Chain A
Amino acid sequence: MATITESQRRGALTHPDIERHEEVNRDILNMLSRPGKGWWALLGLCVLGIGVFFTSWGWQIYRGIGVSGLTSPVGWGAYITTFVFWVGIAHSGTLISAILFLFRAPWRQSVYRAAEAMTVFGVMTAGLFPLIHVGRVWHAYWLIPYPNQRFLWPNFRSPLVWDVFAVTTYFTVSAVFFYLGTIPDVAAARDASTGLRKKLYSVVAMGWRGTDREWHHFGKAYIFLAGLATPLVLSVHSVVSWDFAMGIVPGWHATIFAPYFVAGAIFSGVAMVITLAVPLRKVFKLEAYLTIKHFDALSKLILLTSLIVLYAYLTEFFMAWYSGEPPEKQMFWNRLFGDYWWATWTMLVCNGFVPIMLWFKRVRHSIPALFVVSIFINIGMWFERYVIIVTSLSHEYEPFAWGMYRPSIVEMGILVGSFAWFGFWFLIFTRMLPPVAIAELKEVVAPRMRKNETKSVEA
């Protein structure tokens, strides 16, 4: 009756070195042991960066938004750029955990927990930026849809209000999805640990025992959550793109923005997964779990999305030319050869040309090469948002309203600090929760069968 399933057969191909379920528990739970010096050093660096972050922000709160480079005509600068960047980073986590789950991609199991953690921490980081950007942060609660003193409600026709709905929903749902997925693994960690850790894990696991009843409902709930998260992830970056596309600013007002932003988000997010997975694999010796095949699959995803992104860039230029609209035409000419030419070319080289290397199998199969490519993409995707936001605002219709924007040292401090904030949570995560999904990995490792072991091994 019990037979080896298709996914287990394919799993045996992706994880040839794992034979028994106990090995998965042992190897993954080992990662939660006492951290080494390198981990503490990185954590220290992140704490330092968080210090820079809050010092910069504190200074801005004390002195006012004038300490940033934001002024007329460029009212959106590095903060909104970084907000979009981090929301984008978050997207690939949900792609891997929800969309590839629905598509039954057999390679997602090893990377999905780390990618999902990246989603939660990415949205957590992104969520700070609207608060920083509004300047008077003590009024940030105005974002919540409630009537003000004059009983005036927010304007539900505004994409900025949509964004509040989209981002808060995204954060809530991805955090819930992440937590739910960890419950069986935390239960495994609870059963393998002692002392204070056992108590902590017992609380988090909520008494999960892995009974048939629990798994039965869990499986169904997980599919529904994946089904809800899939359209959600596509909607979130679409709504973010409408923050721009709904405005009649040259360079923003385009119908391709939603798919273009979603592809870009997945592109940057998958690159970030590689950036994080490479050191994770090295430090925790996860070669049996994160094989070259996984990196190959991830780089193919990057290749696909980079083509979509490059196509969107070219379409934008084509549409500007074909529209015959002088401000639009000048906008795109200005992007390539104007004041911000360096940002545009950084974007085009990093996102359009560097990923071309991934056509070569040798690059896809070389971990150091992939790491370097992923760093280029991370940089390129930050610049993409910078180009979209800053070049458009600095050069709208009327020449008297043109101006230049340069991020101030405070904005730079907050940008750098945001990486530290993200890194801090990610480092804590790698030591507190199983960074690779134990239960899901076992689904692709063939279970022990008496009939296989007695009748010698078949197939």
Chain B
Amino acid sequence: MREIDVARVAEAVARLCEEASMDLGEDAFAALERALEQEESPVGKDVIGQLIENARLARKEWVPMCQDTGVAVVLVDVGQDVHVVGGSLEEAINAGVRKGYQEGYLRKSVVGDPFERKNTGDNTPAVIHYRVVPGDRLRITVLPKGAGSENMSALKMLTPADGLEGVMDFVVDVVDEAGSNPCPPIIVGVGVGGTMDQAALLAKRALARPVGQPHRRPEIAGVEEKLLQRINRLGIGPQGLGGRVTALAVHMEVYPTHIACLPVAVNLQCHAARHKEAVL
């Protein structure tokens, strides 16, 4: 049994919170640069140019690329041969979030009770999803999720008769209705199958993939491509000001489901496709 001390977990999470907020991944940069070439609208081109400049500036000056540094979504793959020692894994993750948000001068956006809405002051608790996997490693992905795009996300329980067409229509409708609100150009995370909770989680996990990396199964990759084309015909464009590039990518994840079910969840992500990963 390989042992990992909780202090290492907290350190890693703190670093990932900062890095995710300041340092846009090369995948997202490349997607923005492709978008700049594809965009025909002058205002749209201007917007994408500003987003690229903004991301460079954030990395250089080590400041957040967006003021909404989000709720810290933490995806943890726990190897079944790992023994976490020295304290609670969950507390260590939250300690890391607390440290990262404080030391990185990130905005604390979490309210402790959804009705009282009093800020917890340290951006905890994180939203944590665990998965037990083979091996003796701990893989931690921090995905700070901003509210502008999260608020435009949606879930629908379709019927099997709605089929692939029904799923695709729903995804396109969600993006169409969101319009300028989620800060396009967006990345569209789609989860299909499982149960309602599973579909939503699949959509979130889809956002943790490198931007524009097609699904490993060619038939799913084909659906992603078709959806991207349909979305980019909507005309919404960068920031909703009109243009060709409404989405940079569509990422879909699927899972087996019930004979009577066809859940589909759409989780939208703005251009700041923030996610950083560490393997301990």
A binds B: no
